[in-house]
Amino acid sequence: MDFMKAFDQTVREIKREVNLKVLKVPELEQKVLDATSDEPWGPHGSALSELAQATKKYSECQMVMGVLWARLGERDANWRHVYKALTIIEYLIANGSERAVDDILDHYSKISVLSSFEFVEPNGKDSGINVRKKVETLVGIINDKERIKAVREKAASNRDKWVLQNY
């Protein structure tokens, strides 16, 4: 089992290097792809923070959001790509630029259509439920401008507290 984990990790690292050096995938785009990978854990806090910061620049915001919208279009066994893209979108609502939030509102239909997302693992486990629950949460936030404002204010307050604690 440890050999397979090490092998999988090595293959992922090689693929990442090929993307960056041979296919010339921009580093930021690769970071979004990494954050929405098929790994069984969510995107790391530092990656989320870096992506939120990137949305403050116009061209970088377009790149981040473009990859996220593409990931939402994936289906079936790639349910983790979709789920993690939704997780990043939720984080961006709270911590991203106003431009990112506007883009999310403009693409509401790409999110809401996933309320019927289905994927059942070969063992019978309904993995699509993770996507459906995340969509339900996001739709509740997106449809309420006051809630968006409250989520953003709370995130800003938490960032301020964290900065003060580290001095």
pLDDT tens for 106-125 read 999 999 999 999 999 999 99
Give the model confidence (pLDDT) of 124-154 as tens digits: 999 999 999 999 999 999 999 999 999 999 9
Burial class (CB in 10 A: 0-12, 13-18, 19+), 14: exposed
pTM of the entire predicted model: 0.84
Q: Which pLDDT belongs to residue 139?
A: 98
The answer on pLDDT for 15 being more than 90 is no
Domains of the chain: 2-165 (1.25.40.90)
Residue 85, pLDDT > 60, answer: yes
What is residue 81's predicted lDDT score, i.e. its pLDDT? Answer: 97
Considering Cα of 105, then 99, then 85, then 44, what sign does the dihedral take?
negative
